[in-house]
Chains A and B, each alone.
Chain A
Amino acid sequence: METQDQAPLYCSNCEQPVLLTNRFCPTCGTSQNQRELVDDSKKWSQLQGLALFFILEIVTCLSTLFVAHPTIQTDIFFGVLMAIISVLFFSSDWKNNKHLLKWPGFSFVKLLTFIILAIIGSLMVQVIAWYLNQHVFHEEFFDFPLYQSHPFGTYIMIVSIAVFPALFEELAYRGYLLQKLLNIVDRKEAMYITSILFFLIHFSLFSFFWLLPFALLLAYIRIKENTIWYGILIHFVFNLTACLVDIIYS
């Protein structure tokens, strides 16, 4: 940055020297933020793209809630559908998104810390959710019975609850959505919006106490580390822990 500040600046229009503090060129009067203005005129159409993405997500997620008799087949079908939507939108802006698939500054210690925290966090959420279900809603809820009948039920359940959501939700929310929003609003707002939309798409109002902080943390790590891999692994470990608790206790 320092070298940039010290380098002589020239007007984007007449190429006469301008100072960094000059908002307009003193020679030709051209505004010195032309490039930003061009970016700004694209923002509304970019936001419409995001709206399309989110409406598709809502429709798909809602459909899963209203399947009368959920089976392993319907579960896999919706899992694959969500994966296709995520991959399509992520690759729609491949040029700006591909850097997220790299893993700069890989740190084993960091990864291990995140994984341990994810396991602890997941167990805590499980206990609180179990307590709420028992004492407030008076019902118990397990996912495993759906998969139990199948010979490979356990594996299918792990793929459908831990692997798929971790990979494709991260690709869609912390990948596509967050990257686009960073062009439209400032960094903090982008973090807040992705986290709130991520929470809304789960259609679980009472989960706000852990879903929102979880999403905010993932978004923060994604922006700080500039990769979605930490997020994918944290999300995977978090869901896997929940999945294993479900299998053991049901």
Chain B
Amino acid sequence: MENINYCNCCAVKYEAMDAFCNACGFPLQGTKQEQDFYISERNVKEIELIDLDEKVERARRSLYWISGLTLFSLVFVVFKPSPDEDVSFLVITTLILSTAFLGLAVWGKTRTSTALISGLSLYLIIHILNAILDPRTILSGIIVKVVIIVYLVKGIKSVIEREKIKKELNLI
């Protein structure tokens, strides 16, 4: 029984001659100071991981917001005071776009980078098209647009960083 040793950091079995844990890199033979330093470094990374998870989640939630806002924009289309104009095309397009963003937000639970990259691209294309058709639309709701774009870009960046930290911690 006395020959079996478990790592103080990750509780994986190790051989008596190992200097470092082969599962987490903990300095088994190191001084108390080295071991504490290792644990604090690892904790910092774990906190960073939680922070990145939050950023990704925020980006995914902003896809729900886009879906909702797109649907809300129907109010302006339907109650526009120009009855002779055929709005059915616009209504169908808006409904499809809103559903698309909703679908991406849900899909983002499993395929995060696909959903965020596609969502950002679709969002940008819609607003560039709108801006060319009617330049006044650039300024309407500019703050919301910037916030959504920043959230999405940060989300995509966080997905990549998250993978990197997970690998550094050797979680995957």
Whether A196 contacts B118 by the Cβ 8 Å rule is yes
Chain A residues within an 8 Å CB radius of B125: 58, 200, 203
Number of chain B interface residues as a range? 35 or more
Interface 1/0 per residue, B73-115 and A, CB below 8 Å: 0000000000000000100010011000000000000010110
Residues of chain A contacted by B161 (CB below 8 angstroms): 44
Contacts of A44 in B (CB 8 A): 157, 160-161
Per the bound structure, the CA–CA distance linking A200 and B160 in Å amounts to 23
CB of A27 within 8 A of CB of B19, answer: yes
A193 touches B113 (CB 8 A): yes
Is the CB of B124 closer than 8 A to any CB of chain A?
yes
Partner-contacting stretch, out of B46-54, B138-146, B164-172? B164-172
Interface pair A23/B160, CB less than 8 Å apart: no
Quote the shortest CB–CB distance from A41 to chain B (angstroms).
Answer: 7
Interface of B is mostly: helix
Among candidates A19, A26, A193, A197, residue contacting B20 with C-beta atoms closer than 8 Å: A26
Cα of A41 to Cα of B165 in the assembled complex, Å: 10
Most chain A beta carbons < 10 A, residue from B114, B160, B164? B114
A46–B111 Cα gap in the complex (Å)?
19
Mark the stretch among A32-40, A72-80, A157-165, A224-232 that contacts chain B.
A32-40
Contacts of A203 in B (CB 8 A): 125, 129
Hey, which bits of chain B sit against chain A, CB under 8 A? 14-15, 18-25, 27, 89, 93, 96-97, 111, 113-114, 117-118, 121-122, 124-125, 128-129, 132, 156-157, 160-161, 163-164, 167-168, 170
Name 13 extra pairs, CB < 8 A, besides A24-B22, A40-B163, A62-B132.
A22-B23, A23-B24, A24-B20, A24-B25, A25-B20, A26-B22, A43-B163, A43-B164, A44-B161, A47-B156, A189-B114, A200-B121, A205-B97
